[in-house]
Amino acid sequence: MKTALIIGASRGLGLGLATELDSRGWQVVGTARKPAEAKGLQSLAAGGRVGVETIDIARAEDIDALAQRLAGRTFDLLFVNAGIAGTPGATVDTARREDLAEILWVNSLAPVRVAQRLLPRVTAGGTVAFMSSLLGSIAENTSGGFDLYRASKAALNMLAHGFAIAARERGIATLSLHPGWVRTDMGGPQAPLSIEESVRGLANVLEAKHDPQHRFLDYTGREIPW
């Protein structure tokens, strides 16, 4: 049985991916900042193959505590999904220093820090994936807006690229994944993709065999230019 650890599985795409992998026979551990409030994840856990853990990836002590609790366990997949949209309406002209600091910390640095700390828990030949976005692609950005969010995802891609150097020594693939424009709290009701459609594609990509290198892919497996 394949095993997955999903960081940020309380709702939206994280919960959707946990549900999809569970339906495919994976054993899943999903995390939430406040598991007692993550009703969807708790309901999924009642099925038997899904475990629930607590972590706020912005807190170094939480990362260390989770690593200690998972000592001795291994996972075929580590998927780091946690992230934020940032201060509504913040632009290059209007953003405060703390706005930039928060979104870069949570969306860029913290995901890679948690992946580095948990890398020993990933089986040789496994996969580490980060939830990125097409908005983090400099080559494909053809519109403006979401200045800080775009910058945070571009930064995440670069930090993931550096992380991949250590991961490939154990034959572990590193993926930055774009889920598509999805009808979530962040994506909004006008988005063309349902959560189910997106996570079905993401699961297909994650179940495929990947060389131990860093790749930027969308939910269909299409390579995205940096």
- Where exactly are the structural domains of the chain? 3-218
Between 83 and 194, the higher pLDDT residue: 194
161: confidence class by pLDDT, cuts 50, 70, 90: very high
Q: Which CATH number fits domain 3-218: 3.40.50.1820, 2.60.120.200, 3.40.50.720, 3.40.50.300?
A: 3.40.50.720
Q: Which percentage of the chain shows pLDDT scores above 70?
A: 99
Q: Give pLDDT tens digits for 108-153.
A: 999 999 999 999 999 999 999 999 999 999 898 667 778 999 999 9
Q: With the C-alpha atoms ordered 89, 90, 96, 97, is the resulting torsion angle positive or negative?
A: positive
32 residue type, one letter: A
Say what the pLDDT of residue 145 is.
78
* Mean pLDDT of all residues belonging to the chain: 93
User: How far does Cα 47 stand from its chain's mean position?
Assistant: 23
Decide: 6 and 18 in contact? Cβ < 8 Å: yes
For residue 8, is pLDDT > 90?
yes
The secondary structure of the chain, three-state, reads: CCEEEEECCCCHHHHHHHHHHHHCCCEEEEEECCHHHCHHHHHHHCCCCEEEEECCCCCHHHHHHHHHHCCCCCEEEEEECCCCCCCCCCCCCCCCHHHHHHHHHHHHHHHHHHHHHHHHHEEEEEEEEEECCHHHCCCCCCCCCCHHHHHHHHHHHHHHHHHHHHHHHHCCEEEEEECCCECCCCCCCCCCECHHHHHHHHHHHHHCCCCCCEEEEECCCCECCC
* CA distance linking residue 45 with residue 29, whole number of Å: 9
Q: State pTM to two decimals.
A: 0.94
88: confidence class by pLDDT, cuts 50, 70, 90: confident
90: confidence class by pLDDT, cuts 50, 70, 90: confident
Say what the pLDDT of residue 142 is.
62
* CA distance linking residue 18 with residue 15, whole number of Å: 5
CA geometry: angle at 218 spanning 215 and 224, to 5°? 55
For residue 208 the two structure tokens come to 């495929």
176-193 mean pLDDT: 87
For residue 48, is pLDDT > 80?
no
For residue 101, is pLDDT > 70?
yes
55-64 mean pLDDT: 95
194-216 mean pLDDT: 97
